[in-house]
Amino acid sequence: MPELPEVEVLRRDLESRLPKPARISRIHFFAPKLRTPLQLPTALEKASWDVLAIGRRSKFLIFETNHGILISHLGMSGYWRVEAALNLIKHDHVVLQWKSGEFWVYNDPRRFGVFEFYPSIDKVKWFSRLGPEPFTDEFMSDAVVRSMRSSGRAIKSIIMDAQVMVGVGNIYASEALFRAGINPFKSGRKVPYKKMDELRRVIRTTLLNAIKGGGSSIRDYVHAGGEKGRFQDKHLVYGREGKSCVKCGTIIQSRKCQGRSTFWCRVCQS
């Protein structure tokens, strides 16, 4: 599943490709639903849309328009591609037809993504219980550390909880915990305050570096032009089970945490 860095890279890529004027002449749906139904208010089905900006909240793309908000979540396998001429392929579900003649196409083989309309951002149901973004001042507040240290869950589960903080998926949870030297299965209550404070900074740095590296292309993720990310080449533990730790040479371990594969070094992560 694309995580925050991949979605942010895609956001920047799409925003740089906005036509001038940034006007969608028609939105086409080629399936009845993804995770939720694909539909627009009747009055807007044939409307043109002026895109004012493309934002992001957690792993959602936000198309800010003159009519309201269009949100897109890539689900497990979704991606957007930009085409000069429309060439539909299997699993194409949403097409944004621009006045300029370009097409932005959303493809999703597993149909677990989301594409929805809301009159304003405060109405988006998916955002009501999200925690702070890693690049905000709120994320660096003591309240976040207290929240992490008040839980008896495994620290990896805590930082992947979108109500605690957003954007830390399975890949970057493993990577950040290795860089911070914290065992992913240790209870949040047992991680010292100083270590937890450092973990937040490491999470932020890890995500920023992943964005600079174009994200991680593990399976389906590609940029709007079809290019793959490069950060997977810099993973220190994720996907490296059975290989030597880059720091101490110990064999990297793998074990499930809440059903997700978790990678760690038993020597470097105490």
Q: Which residues are catalytic?
A: 2-3, 59, 260
By C-alpha distance, which of 115, 95, 114 is closest to 104?
Answer: 95
Q: Are 14 and 79 in contact (CB under 8 A)?
A: no
C-alpha separations of 206 from 17, 74, 85, 139, 162 in Å: 26, 21, 37, 15, 17
Residues in CB range of 255: below 8 A, 6 or more apart: 185, 261, 262
Phi, psi of 256 (to 5 degrees): -80, 140
Residues in CB range of 218: below 8 A, 6 or more apart: 171, 232, 239
- Separation CA 227–CA 129 (nearest Å): 33
